[in-house]
């Protein structure tokens, strides 16, 4: 059973929920077929009531499993499903949006690196006596703290 578990699904509760949902959908499908096939001769048999009882049993099981599953489902995804759209298409669209955004951010990073290199090159041409190594400058967070520009005024 360990092979059926999802990443982060230590106790298999998500797998149990998935299996129960599949069974529930199958009982609903069979109930629908039984209702369509129902006629005056078959109205006395217990086929439809048995399927209705099966639906109730599966709903009870799903209700019991709901507290075991801790994964969050995005509300936007639930909205897509309720609107009758395929959740896989929602995931694909979201992936494409994130991919485009990622490419834009990569482009910005490359642009900033090119700007840094160009500025370094220009500074070296105008001030050749100074050595500019902007590639190895420490980030602002690692610089030694000093008095802030406004602190001298605050003391007076």
Residue 38 in any domain: the answer is yes
Phi/psi at 34 (5° precision): -65, -40
pLDDT at 70 over 60: yes
Residue 124 sits in the same domain as residue 92: yes
Residue 99 sits in the same domain as residue 120: yes
Residue 7 in any domain: the answer is yes
Query: Cα(61)–Cα(54) distance, rounded to whole angstroms?
Result: 11
Helices 47-65 and 13-37 cross at an angle (nearest 10°) of: 160
Residue 3 sits in the same domain as residue 63: yes
Residue 94 in any domain: the answer is yes
Residue 58 sits in the same domain as residue 83: no
The mean predicted confidence, pLDDT, of the chain is 77
Domain count for the chain: 2
Owning domain of residue 118 = 75-134
Phi/psi at 92 (5° precision): -65, -45
Quick one: the chain helix, strand, coil %, rounded to 5? Answer: 70, 0, 30
Phi/psi at 2 (5° precision): -65, -25
Residue 56 sits in the same domain as residue 118: no
DSSP element (H, E) containing 60: helix 47-65
User: Residues 17, 22, 25, CA angle at the centre, nearest 5°?
Assistant: 120
The model's pLDDT over 129-146, given as tens digits with 9 standing for 90+, comes to 655 555 555 565 544 555
Query: Cα(78)–Cα(85) distance, rounded to whole angstroms?
Result: 10
Residue 107 in any domain: the answer is yes
Residue 6 sits in the same domain as residue 45: yes
8 A C-beta contact, residue 132 and residue 120: yes
Residue 112 in any domain: the answer is yes
Listed ranges 72-81, 87-96, 109-118; the one with the highest mean pLDDT: 109-118
Residue 81 sits in the same domain as residue 65: no
Q: Locate tokens 């994130």: which residue? A: 98
The model's pLDDT over 35-53, given as tens digits with 9 standing for 90+, comes to 887 776 666 677 788 888 9
User: Residues 141, 145, 147, CA angle at the centre, nearest 5°?
Assistant: 135
Whose CA is closest to 54, among 84, 31, 87?
Answer: 31
Residue 5 sits in the same domain as residue 57: yes
């Amino acid at each position: 059973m360990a092979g059926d578990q999802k990443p982060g699904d230590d106790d298999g509760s998500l797998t149990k929920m998935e299996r129960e949902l599949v069974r529930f959908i199958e009982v609903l499908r069979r109930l629908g077929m039984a209702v369509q096939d129902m006629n005056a001769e078959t109205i006395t048999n217990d086929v439809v009531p048995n399927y209705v009882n099966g639906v109730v049993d599966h709903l009870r099981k799903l209700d019991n499993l709901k507290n075991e599953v801790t994964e969050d489902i995005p509300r936007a995804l639930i909205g897509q499903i309720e609107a009758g759209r395929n959740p896989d298409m929602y995931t694909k669209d979201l992936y494409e949006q994130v991919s485009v955004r990622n490419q834009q951010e990569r482009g910005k990073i490359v642009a900033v690196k090119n700007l840094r290199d160009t500025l370094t090159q220009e500074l070296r041409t105008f001030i050749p006596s100074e050595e500019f190594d902007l590639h190895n400058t420490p980030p602002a967070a690692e610089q030694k703290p000093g008095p802030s520009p406004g602190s001298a005024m605050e003391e007076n």
